[in-house]
Chain A
């Protein structure tokens, strides 16, 4: 089969030894690459119940069949591990030349197990002590750039901050704390450079399909991202009462105009850039005054903007942009960092936490304390769920997280299809594995009153995301497909020489969703984990355009039950015995059922 190297490299960091382990074609055909392959490898390599920080916990870097083909936006890699923030499966993607060079090692994935004796870096098969410990990821990459493409952690990762990122060329595999796993392994950086090209089965057809996708990915299909960028969401969300503000207490921010793309494009220095192998160019960099008065610029996305701005009650653009730059430098997930700060701010207002940040504070000072785990920063570095459990009382009802992962910038009460996506996501509260917000921002669903239609749309959205994340292609090209499954099959067949059709691609999507869920069940998932913090189910929106809007618990519960049944799971969300058996057989995951049986009283898995 073309497009794959049919093997992964397993690196034991205790010894530095690597082994090339073959992967059967039937497995790759059934999970593809990216998050599909990464999830499969996690099932195989992670001992049941492993502590994410234990040496035995694997950290997977998975490539995909399209990497190296030049197809627009395909230069992405997936990092997969057991999240120290959620205790479940976490997969995070980043775009960079690291993906291209990593695959050129002649493998489809890198799996790191064990723990280095001392801070180290892995450079093209050689494990060696690092001089870069204590440096930022960017500094580390600069120091190692002559030896290949670099993925590295920042100081937050070194200190096992539970929402630390892995950075490559300024892009981050950001969510779920995978950088902390790398830090726990004392692995500062991974450097890759290879010479195995991706040879397509039908190169002319690949070229034709790539050109077609590139052409269609121009104009309206992606223009929002190239012209305005994701920060264009902020003012639109504010107007719809969907902009999370002051730790989700409100959904409308009085300082929204000051933080808007509409304002910044006319009064700030602004330039655009692109990821590797991308023709969209969604990266928008804006100038700001750094604390010392120096003029700098930083890439800013909506998620960073909302989390470090309105969510923390900060309306000063310079403070928000400086905080985003600080997160980049320290290697912190901006969403979790901002949301954890915002939670601490509300706890402070309620007298549940003393000496902490207050709404409107400059986030940057706190970000440094978090990354170094100094003072109260050590507590904040644990993320909002662990903080809330420690604070006690009803703090958990206000902690902005699902399964431990902090919520992205979508107010669930006014985006109720997305509310379902956030509640059931295997990664936790997630806007990348579920793009259910798309239905909310359309005429298709009633965003203020979720119903059966919302459920169907949420499932479709997850399935589509699973395909894009397994191929891997950027979500921003999603609008360029008429039929994602059929066109993905055409692209895959041209690269791999397979003869898949759209229906098979859809089956793969569903399989990947099942596979991730199975991992979480294996690791202790319970039906009550699929919900939203009680705040969203009990408090109406207090002001702004969506004043009075509610998301009653019964409505969310109905949607969750319908979702589970729609997926072919039991009403409360267990994978039935038949689905587990199918995964076990199709993916050669012997022992999957028996490992899951421990989750059930008397070992009985529902039919």
Chain B
């Protein structure tokens, strides 16, 4: 993706804020497990953040960290990239009682599942036995596999549907709002150059990859060179990431500033 999923914009929020907001409408306690060095947006005092200290041991090790931090018997687990997660679905899953997970196209959706009591201890035992798949934990808890079509509260796009590519993320955005836009502004030398060419320096354009957005300006501006943002510029995405990779996706409402690479001085 080229960007941390947690920080990707999702209609006025970041993705992690969106998911936490959905969960908070259903449960009293939300724990976010994140990597050792990823800073997160401010999620409020009532959200606990724990670090995955053993990321190299696979996804179960990260889940164990979360289970250890959580106090409830039953825990709903989701990934950060869950744009279509809804509160009704989470409620329905809890209502099933005990460990359960959707079954979709033959796949158990372990990152959209409820884990039962004692999950932290069981996860630890499994890890000690060399097992690192979340599914092993669900199986150890005798989980119910629920066929996707049995779930009455699932929206048209599946709650477990995430994204691992820029195209999938942009497709998710367009399925919600086909006309979603972002703002691109040229600063410094780029703005001066645009002025010379009679082009505007700020535009609202449909969401897309950075390359899609920059292609809307005249080539003469030289924003792109050899398949990347030209060396003289950097793209600042939402005031956070500084990038040159044109395949990076830009989300709804985001502001992209094309700045001089020689910033500072």
Binding site for B on A (CB under 8 A): 220, 223-225, 227-228, 230, 232-233, 235-237, 239-241, 261-262, 265-266, 302, 410, 431, 435, 437-438, 440-443, 446-449, 451, 475-476, 479, 540, 544-550
Residues of B near A544 (CB, < 8 A) are: 239
Interface residue tally for chain B (C-beta within 8 Å): 32
A442 to B263, CA, bound (A): 9
- Interface flags for B164-199 (1: CB within 8 Å of A; 0: not) read 000000000000000000000101110110010000
Question: Chain A contacts of B234 at CB under 8 A?
Answer: 441-443
Pick 23 A–B contacts, CB within 8 A, sort by A: A220-B231, A224-B189, A224-B232, A224-B261, A224-B265, A227-B189, A227-B192, A232-B188, A235-B188, A236-B188, A236-B257, A236-B263, A239-B187, A266-B195, A431-B264, A437-B263, A441-B234, A441-B259, A441-B263, A545-B255, A547-B41, A547-B42, A550-B39
B153 interface residue (CB < 8 Å to A): no
Q: Which 3 A-B pairs have the closest CB atoms?
A: A545-B239, A548-B42, A441-B263
Whether the Cβ atoms of A448 and B264 lie closer than 8 Å is no
Contact across chains for A479 and B260 when beta carbons are under 8 A apart: no
CB-defined contacts of A431 to chain B, threshold 8 Å:
264
**CB-based contact B264/A228 at 8 Å:** no
Nearest-neighbor residue (CB-CB) of A545 within chain B? B239
Interfacial chain B residues near A540, Cβ < 8 Å: 42
Residue from the set B236, B243, B264 with the largest chain A CB neighbour count within 10 Å:
B264
- Is B189 a contact of A447 with CB atoms below 8 Å? no
Residues of A within 8 A of B255 (CB): 239, 545
B232, A223: Cβ atoms closer than 8 Å: yes
B195: nearest chain-A partner, CB-CB: A266
Task: Tell me which of B38, B42, B185, B242 contacts A443 (CB under 8 A).
Answer: B242
Q: Is the CB of A443 within 8 A of B191?
A: no
* CB–CB A442/B242 < 8 A: yes
Inter-chain CA distance A396–B265, complex, in Å, is 27
Most buried by B among A225, A236, A440, A446: A236
Contact B187 A545 (CB under 8 A): no
Residues of A close to B262: CB separation below 8 A: 224-225, 479
CA distance A160 to B261 in the complex (A): 39
Assess whether B42 is in contact with A228, with CB atoms less than 8 Å apart. Answer: no
Indicate which residue in B38, B41, B187 contacts A262 across the interface (CB closer than 8 Å). Answer: B187
The reply to whether the CB of B244 lies closer than 8 angstroms to some CB of chain A is yes
- With A224-B260, A232-B260, A236-B187: A545-B265 Cβ-Cβ less than 8 Å: no
Q: Which of B239, B257, B260 contacts A228 (CB 8 A)?
A: B260
A431 to B264, CA, bound (A): 9
- Interface pair B188/A228, CB less than 8 Å apart: yes
**Nearest opposing residue in chain A for B231, CB measure:** A220
Given known contacts A443-B242, A443-B244, A548-B42, A236 and B265 CB-to-CB distance under 8 angstroms: no
Q: Which of B188, B195, B240, B243 contacts A448 (CB 8 A)?
A: B240
Contact of B265 among A261, A442, A449, A476 (CB under 8 A): A476
Q: What is the bound-complex CA distance between A246 and B3, given in angstroms?
A: 31
Q: Which residues of A contact B189 (CB under 8 A)?
A: 223-224, 227-228, 232
Q: How far is the CB of A473 from chain B (nearest CB, A)?
A: 14
Q: Bound state CA distance, A316 and B40, in angstroms?
A: 35
Q: Which residues of B contact A228 (CB under 8 A)?
A: 188-189, 192, 260
Q: Are B239 and A546 in contact (CB under 8 A)?
A: yes
| Known contacts A232-B187, A239-B239, A441-B234; A475 and B265 CB within 8 A of each other | yes
Given contacts A239-B259, A265-B192, A540-B42, 20 further A-B contacts (CB under 8 A): A224-B189, A225-B265, A228-B189, A228-B192, A235-B257, A236-B188, A239-B236, A239-B239, A240-B239, A240-B240, A266-B195, A431-B264, A441-B261, A441-B264, A449-B37, A449-B38, A449-B39, A545-B239, A548-B41, A549-B39
Q: Report B-chain residues with C-beta under 8 Å of the C-beta of A547.
A: 41-42
| Complex CA distance for A220 and B188, rounded to whole angstroms | 13
Q: In the bound complex, what is the Cα–Cα distance between A533 and B57 (angstroms)?
A: 39
- Which residues between 226 and 249 of chain B lie within 8 Å of chain A, taking CB atoms? 231-232, 234, 236, 238-240, 242-244
Q: How far is the CA of A441 from the CA of B265 in the complex (A)?
A: 11
B191 touches A262 (CB 8 A): yes
CA distance A239 to B37 in the complex (A): 23
Cα–Cα distance between A239 and B191 once the two chains are bound (Å): 15
> A262-B188, A262-B191 in contact; A237/B263 too (CB < 8 A)?
yes
Instruction: Give Cα A435–Cα B264 distance, bound, in whole angstroms.
Output: 8
B2 vs chain A, min Cβ distance (A):
10
A261 CA to B189 CA, complexed, in Å: 10
B132 interfacial by beta-carbon distance below 8 Å:
no
Find chain A residues with CB under 8 A from B259 CB: 236, 239-240, 441
Assembled-state Cα–Cα distance A501/B59 (Å): 51
Given contacts A435-B265, A475-B265, whether A261 and B42 have CB atoms under 8 Å apart is: no
How near does chain A come to B17, taking the closest CB pair, in angstroms?
Answer: 11
Contact of B141 with A by CB under 8 A: no
Asked whether B187 lies within 8 Å of A230 as measured between CB atoms, the reply is no
Whether B201 sits at the interface, judged by CB under 8 Å, is yes
Residues of A within 8 A of B188 (CB): 224, 228, 232, 235-236, 261-262
Contacts of B242 in A (CB 8 A): 240, 441-443, 447
A491 to B39, CA, bound (A): 45
Residue of A nearest to B229 (CB): A443
Contacts of B244 in A (CB 8 A): 443
Rounded to whole angstroms, the CA-CA distance of A431 and B236 in the bound complex is 22
Determine if B37 and A236 form an interchain contact, defined as CB atoms under 8 angstroms apart.
Answer: no
Bound complex: CA of A476 vs CA of B195, how far in Å?
Answer: 25
Cβ of B39: which chain A residues have Cβ within 8 Å of it?
448-449, 549-550
User: With A and B bound together, what is the CA distance between A233 and B259 in angstroms?
Assistant: 9
Distance between Cα atoms of A411 and B119 in the complex (Å):
43
Q: How far is the CB of A525 from chain B (nearest CB, A)?
A: 27
What residues of chain B lie closer than 8 Å to A549, measured between beta carbons? 39
Task: Report yes or no: A235 in contact with B264, Cβ–Cβ below 8 A.
Answer: no
How far apart sit A119 and B232, CA to CA, in the bound complex (Å)? 50
Closest CB in chain B relative to A375 CB, distance in Å = 37
A544 to B240 alpha-carbon distance, docked (Å): 11
